[in-house]
A and B are shown apart, each in its own frame.
Chain A
Amino acid sequence: MAQMTMIQAITDALRTELRNDENVLVFGEDVGVNGGVFRATEGLQKEFGEERVFDTPLAESGIGGLAIGLTLEGYRPVPEIQFFGFLFEVMDSVSGQMARWRYRTGGSLNAPITIRSPFGGGVHTPELHADSLEGLVAQQPGLKVVIPSTPYDAKGLLISSIRDNDPVIFLEHMKLYRSFRQDVPEEEYTIPLGKADVKREGKDLSIITYGAMVHESLKAADELEKEGYSVEVVDLRTISPLDVDTIVASVEKTNRAIVVQEAQKQAGIAANVIAEINERAILSLEAPVLRVTAADTVYPFSQAESVWLPNYKDIIETAKKVLTF
């Protein structure tokens, strides 16, 4: 075991897979000698050489096309999109191309690509760096979308993502990169994609969430416990496909649920979680499933983040509405 931040766990996962499989290639803007704008790929080019870890021209669409093309010669590309707000430049390669690769060739080709990309608010980034756009890719058949909230999950999920033979979008919340350390095994391990994790057990309310909101939810749960409520926190970890079994099992136990996301109400995936609960566990519900989200505006100017981003107080407030419905 070693104490790692999430960014260290990510680097460790990349190193593990670069060692394990000579077909793994890491590339993107400034991921080589620079080690990435967040140090996620630090030391990797030095260890594995420019053939395996390399910089690209500044063009996201080109990076997406490069990744797809490299799969035809049996490579396993792990490209980076510097900030997920730049997804729009590469939306065709992601949703129009790699997601459909296996299908459009009748299963004769596949795209074992893992796109890593940072996102998320709370660190006062400039425009279009922090936007939560996971809802867009979660709507595309053929993609899996993974969002870890801890160093341990990040390593196991990233190794699984890289080994997956279909495309995975791996979104890394910037605020979680170095906010805390956790024990992470130094050896390789995997966490299955599409599996949620109950981060805290409880009996009265399920909070279903992902990304930075996992930690806000855990904080809210601690506060609510002081008031006598036992709160369960389900960290989705993979937002597409959803782990419906874990969600439903939790709701059937607690009979009340809220869904918490950092994205705007009209975005993200909270509406999808609620629909699944309504379809599968309506008879267990003592109250409607409510959402904690950001407002339906463009992502805030950085000085307005603190009043705009959902936090544990918003979660407590909504939780109480549901608990006292």
Chain B
Amino acid sequence: MASTKKAQFDAKKTLEKIEEQFEMFQILNEQGEVVNESAVPDLSDEELQELMRRMVYSRILDQRSISLNRQGRLGFVAPTAGQEASQIASHFALEQEDYILPGYRDVPQIIWHGLPLHQAFLWSRGHVEGMKIPEGLNILPPQIIIGAQYVQTAGVALGLKKRGKKAVAITYTGDGGSSQGDFYEGINFAGAYKAPAVFVVQNNQFAISTPREKQTAAKTIAQKAVAAGIPGQLVDGMDPLAVYVAVREARERAINGEGPSLIETLCYRYGPHTMSGDDPTKYRTSDLDNEWERKDPLVRFRKYLENKGLWSEEKETEVIEQAKEDIKVAIKKADDTPKQKVTDLISVMFEELPHNLKEQNEIYQAKESK
């Protein structure tokens, strides 16, 4: 007969002990007040203004991208509004020699790293010129296969380590992406090799229509780092200063040879999953939307900077106008890019064309010259 003795293993306590290690890191509250004085990063006034400038710019880029998509002047667009702190402040913590392996929603990060705007638009439209990476720019094209960027990041980071470079590989996925095998393999490989990688999970709480709670019973995604034996941190993803500090510290640990980190940024996307027919009103309430709009990273950072006398409506208008102008110029440049031909596609398949493609190249050359 089975024993009815009390179990020796306190399962509930085990879970609670794990969860209490992953409390949310925050510096600015919703009102733009500093709630964690000792953690405030050492950023100059100019740097703080530049961070705000980039966040505002990115919000405008999102609004314009959605509208250009509706006009049929852009193709694939994954809205980013709401994630400015998570995307832009994390990027702000990087150096130019760091590599970015973005997901499909992470176009802003690679733009700020140096990808020309018109190329980002060409990528959205589906043009070979879009992700022709400028010489020396350490980015990859947005990854469509959720999780693939994680295993690749382990490789990039190992490469940096082997070359003895003081740089990191940073990658991004969403809450849904943390359910993939490649997510786990990526952080585990980087951990096993003590490679300089920063893994960011932007938990915007919905993977298309599936709420975060349906992905996992784990209380936080940050605690998944435990499975890889690496540090994990839950951060207020609507707080630019907290995100900046978390990534900066992860970067420091990485370049000091202490290995990778996993950072969960708790955030929200105001728009649909993508502009390809997703309707968030089917799975999200307006109450929830409103709750998260109150947490808007722009609102709290604006208040923070205004209180310091570092931001004004005038400054913001200037950024907005600049963004609109840049976008107009970039769209025009994208429009002016020559149309793709099959021979263009053939030419970028291999260094040296194999027999079948040589043959097909001739056939298409003849067609194209008609």
Q: Is the CB of B132 within 8 A of A62?
A: no
With contacts defined as CB atoms under 8 Å apart, how many contacts are there between chain A and chain B in the complex? 136
For the complex, what is the distance from the CA of A110 to the CA of B132, rounded to whole Å? Answer: 12
CB of B154 closer than 8 Å to a CB of A: yes
Question: Which B residues are in CB contact (< 8 Å) with A56?
Answer: 189
Q: How many residues of B contact A (CB 8 A)?
A: 46
Question: Which A residues are in CB contact (< 8 Å) with B141?
Answer: 104-105
Q: Is the CB of A69 within 8 A of B152?
A: yes
Interface locus among B83-91, B180-188, B297-305, B323-331: B180-188
Q: Is the CB of A141 within 8 A of B349?
A: yes
Q: How far is the CB of A1 from chain B (nearest CB, A)?
A: 30
Question: Which B residues are in CB contact (< 8 Å) with A51?
Answer: 162
Question: Which B residues are in CB contact (< 8 Å) with A34?
Answer: none
Interface locus among B218-226, B277-285, B350-358: B350-358
Q: Is the CB of A244 within 8 A of B355?
A: yes
Q: How many residues of A contact B (CB 8 A)?
A: 43
Q: Is the CB of B148 within 8 A of A69?
A: no
CB of B145 closer than 8 Å to a CB of A: yes
Question: Which B residues are in CB contact (< 8 Å) with A64?
Answer: 151
For the complex, what is the distance from the CA of A27 to the CA of B157, rounded to whole Å? Answer: 16
Q: Is the CB of B186 within 8 A of A97?
A: no
Interface locus among B57-65, B105-113, B123-131, B263-271: B123-131
For the complex, what is the distance from the CA of A110 to the CA of B349, rounded to whole Å? Answer: 9
**Max chain B Cβ within 10 angstroms of own Cβ: one of A61, A64, A97, A244:** A61
CB of B348 closer than 8 Å to a CB of A: yes
Interface residues of A in 50-77 (CB under 8 A from B): 51, 56-57, 59, 61-62, 64-75
Known: A62-B186, A66-B154. A103 touches B148 (CB 8 A): no
Beyond A62-B185, A93-B148: 20 further Cβ-contacts under 8 Å? A51-B162, A59-B185, A62-B186, A65-B152, A65-B153, A68-B152, A69-B157, A71-B155, A72-B140, A72-B159, A73-B160, A92-B148, A103-B345, A104-B131, A105-B140, A106-B133, A108-B131, A108-B132, A165-B351, A242-B355
Would you list the 8 A-B pairs with minimal beta carbon distance, nearest first? Answer: A69-B155, A65-B151, A73-B159, A106-B132, A241-B354, A62-B185, A107-B348, A69-B156
Interface set of A (CB-CB < 8 Å, partner B): 51, 56-57, 59, 61-62, 64-75, 92-93, 96-97, 102-110, 141-142, 144, 164-166, 194, 241-245
Interface set of B (CB-CB < 8 Å, partner A): 99, 128-135, 138, 140-141, 145, 148, 150-160, 162-163, 165, 169, 181-182, 185-186, 188-189, 192, 345, 347-351, 354-357
